[in-house]
Amino acid sequence: MYVKFSQQLLNWYDDNGRDLPWRVKNYAGRQNIAPDPYHVWLSEIMLQQTVVATVKDYYAKFTQKWPNVQALATAQQDEVLTAWAGLGYYARARNLHKCAQYICSEFGGNFPNSETILLTLPGVGPYTAAAIAAIAFDLNANVVDGNIERIFSRVEKLEDELPAAKAKIYKIAKKYLPTARYGDYAQALMDLGTAICRPKNPKCDICPIAEFCVLAGAENVQNYPKKTPKKPKKQLKTNVFWVKNAKNDQVLLQKRPEKGLLGNMMEFPSSPWLPQKPAEVQAKNLGLITHIFTHIKLEMQVWEMAEPEFETLVNGGFEVNLSADKQWVKPNELDGFALPSLMQKVRKLAET
DNA sequence: AATCCGGGGAC
DNA sequence: GTCCCAGGATT
C-alpha cells in the first residue's frame, strides 16, 4: 500500500512538479547531475516560513553575488543583511553567514552528507537538515514541513491539534517514506501541498493519492489539520524621526542591537515602542504608518526634524532609542543599507 | 511547551 | 480583516 502511495505521488511529480531555480528535478530517477548542496541549503533557509514567489528574486541575487559557500563566508555581515533586507526573519541571514564560515572552517567548504551532522549547523533545524539530506544527497530522511503536516493529517484524519501534533505527524510521515528517490519524494509532497492539498479548497478530485486519503473529497477536509488558536498581537506605538543634517542632504541612520527584533539591521531613530500613544513633537508630521510583525502591530508616527531641533528634543529628556553606531546618509544611497521593510515604508513616506 | 522572530500573498 | 507559508532559537 505505502509503495503504491509513493509511486503514484512520484508519477504525478514527474509530470506536474514545478521547475524552480534551485531544483534539479528527478535527478535520482534520470541520473541528471546532482544538485549543488550550497544551492539546496541556501534555498531551504530562504524558504523557511516564506513562499516560493517571494524567495525567487533573493535567491537569484545571492547566487549571483556569492556563487559558492566560500564567497559567502568571505562577505561582511552587513553585506549579507543588506542583500537579505525585506525577506524577514533576519536571524536566518545572520545564521546563514555564520554557517557559511563554519562550513569553510570545519568542513573544507563541503556540506556534510549526514542528516545528524547537518542538524548541528547554525540555522539548520530538523526540517532543514532532513530536506538537505534528501534533496542534495538523496538520503532517506523524513522531511516534514507545513505542507506535509497538512497532507498527512488529512490522509489519516488526525484529530490532534498543531503544534502539539507534530511528533505524531512525524511518525505517520515516516510510514509512507519510499525506498528510492528520497529527494524527489520530499519535493513531490511539498508541490502537492501547494498545488493540490491546499489549506483551503483542496483539489481532491485530481489528487494522485486521493485513494489513500481518509478525508479526500470530504466537506470538512479544509478543517484539517486542526490548530490551537493563536494569541492576539501586541499593539504598540512609536515616534520615528527622519532627521536631516545642516546641509539638508543627509538623514540620520543607525544600527539596531545585535539581538532581538530586526537584530543588526538599520533603522531611523524612534522612541520606545509602547502600548500608549507617544507624545506629540514640535516638528513636521509626515504621517502614520502601520506595520504588522508576527506578534506585534506597530503604529509609527513619522516626524521630520532638523538635527539641532532633534538634539534639543533628546537633551530635553524626550526618550529616543539611540545607538552608538550612527551615521549620516544621503537618501538616494539608502539602498546600500540593510533596511527592513518597515523602515523602507518610513523612507518612502519621507521622500514623497 | 511557549514565546520570539518578518513579510507578503491569497482570500 | 484572517490565514499561513519548504521553521529555528531561546527560555
Which residue is catalytic, options A44, A149, A156, A267? A44
What pLDDT is attached to residue A25?
A: 77
Q: What is the mean pLDDT of residues A30-50?
A: 91
Does the pLDDT value for residue A28 go beyond 90?
Answer: no
pLDDT at A34: 85
Quote the pLDDT of residue A317. Answer: 86
A256's CB contacts (< 8 A; 6+ apart) are A262, A263, A264, A265, A266, A267, A323
Q: Tell which residue, A124, A131, A162, A161, has the closest CA to residue A145.
A: A131
Please measure the distance between the N-terminal and C-terminal CA atoms of chain A and give it in whole angstroms: 62
Percent of chain A whose predicted confidence (pLDDT) is above 90: 93
Question: Which residues, other chains included, contact A58 with Cβ-Cβ below 8 Å and sequence gap of 6+?
Answer: A46, A83, A84, A87
DSSP A248: S
Q: Measured in angstroms, what separates residue A157's CA from nucleotide B1's C1'?
A: 24
- Residue extent(s) of CATH 1.10.340.30 domains in chain A: 2-227
Chain B positions with a protein C-beta closer than 7 Å: 1-11
- Mean pLDDT for A45-54 is 97
Note the CA–C1' distance, A347 to B11, in angstroms: 30
A44 is catalytic: yes
| Amino acid A249 CA to nucleotide B10 C1' distance, rounded Å | 41
Q: Round the CA-based radius of gyration of chain A to a whole number and report it.
A: 24
Residue A93 zone, left/alpha/beta (φ > 0; ψ -120 to 50; rest): alpha
Q: What is the mean pLDDT of residues A332-343?
A: 97
Q: What is the average pLDDT across A229-258?
A: 95
pLDDT tens figures, A57-113: 999 999 999 999 999 999 999 999 999 999 999 999 999 999 999 999 999 999 999
pLDDT tens for each residue of A137-174: 999 999 999 999 999 999 999 999 999 999 999 999 99
3.90.79.10, 3.10.105.10, 3.90.45.10, 3.40.50.150: CATH of A234-351: 3.90.79.10
Bond into A225 cis (ω within 30): yes
Is the CB of residue A58 less than 8 Å from the CB of residue A84? yes
CA distance A64 to A94: 19
How far is Cα A54 from Cα A275, in angstroms, rounded to an integer? Answer: 31
pLDDT of res. A87: 98
Q: Please determine, for residue A235, whether its predicted confidence score (pLDDT) is greater than 70.
A: yes
Closest CA to A221 of A150, A145, A144, A147: A150
Grid coordinates representing A191 are 508541490
Which residue, A55, A224, A234, A60, is CA-closest to A150?
A224
A2-227 fold: Endonuclease III; domain 1 (1.10.340)
CB A218 within 7 Å, strand C: no
Provide the pLDDT for residue A30.
Answer: 58
Taking residues A117-121, what's their average pLDDT? 98
In which residue ranges of chain A is CATH 3.90.79.10 found? Answer: 234-351
